[in-house]
């Protein structure tokens, strides 16, 4: 999470940190770089989920949210750069609106918000296949 926040929604934040790949060589400035530039494209983007008890009290709710994070993250994996990504739950979902921990309404709400989060990253990522907004 030291890499910084790249996108936020009401309930989620996406953090990204660079990855030092295997087979690195040192540049003129002493920084480590991949020996083969194509290797960076072969490296899959790492995905993590952080769902604290503070925002989701029940384990079944935390697990449901994590499953949605990994599922939506896999859909957007092709547009994410080769880096470590962590999706963090930063606010709770209203218990009056979503009384059941595994309701279809909750899953749909989480999924829609995660798609919005990753779409925000896709728009901001240079070299993505989508047009950036002015």
Q: What is the CATH number of the domain that holds 11?
A: 3.30.230.10
As a whole-number percent, the residues of the chain with pLDDT over 70 amount to 68
Q: Is residue 131 part of a domain?
A: no
Name the residue range of residue 77's domain: 5-18+38-124
Q: Please name the residues in contact with 131: beta carbons below 8 A apart, sequence gap of 6 or more.
A: none
Strand 32-34 to 24-26 pairing: antiparallel
Q: Is residue 82 part of a domain?
A: yes
- Total domain count for the chain? 1
Of 55-64, 79-88, 122-131, the range with the lowest mean pLDDT is 122-131
Q: Is residue 100 part of a domain?
A: yes
Q: Is residue 117 part of a domain?
A: yes
Q: Is residue 130 part of a domain?
A: no
Looking at every residue in the chain, the average pLDDT score rounds to 78
Q: Is residue 9 part of a domain?
A: yes
CA distance 118 to 81: 12
Calculate helix-pair angle for 59-75, 104-124, nearest 10 degrees. 40
Give the alpha-carbon dihedral of 9, 106, 98, 119, to 10 degrees. 10
Q: What is the pTM of this model?
A: 0.72
Q: Please name the residues in contact with 111: beta carbons below 8 A apart, sequence gap of 6 or more.
A: 68, 71, 72
Output the pLDDT for position 108. 95
Q: Please name the residues in contact with 68: beta carbons below 8 A apart, sequence gap of 6 or more.
A: 107, 110, 111, 114
Q: Is residue 25 part of a domain?
A: no
Q: Is residue 56 part of a domain?
A: yes
Cβ atoms 65, 59 nearer than 8 A: no
């Amino acid at each position: 999470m030291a890499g910084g926040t790249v996108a936020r929604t009401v309930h989620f934040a996406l953090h990204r940190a660079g990855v030092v790949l295997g087979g690195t060589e040192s540049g003129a400035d002493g920084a480590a770089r991949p020996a083969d530039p194509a290797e960076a494209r072969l490296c899959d983007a790492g995905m993590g989920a952080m769902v604290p008890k503070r925002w989701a009290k029940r384990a079944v709710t935390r697990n449901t949210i994590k499953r949605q994070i990994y599922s939506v993250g896999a859909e957007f994996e092709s547009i994410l750069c080769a880096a470590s990504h962590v999706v963090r739950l930063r606010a709770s979902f209203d218990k009056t609106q979503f009384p059941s921990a595994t309701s279809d309404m909750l899953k749909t709400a989480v999924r829609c918000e995660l798609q919005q989060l990753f779409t925000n990253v896709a728009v901001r990522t240079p070299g993505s296949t989508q047009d950036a907004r002015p």
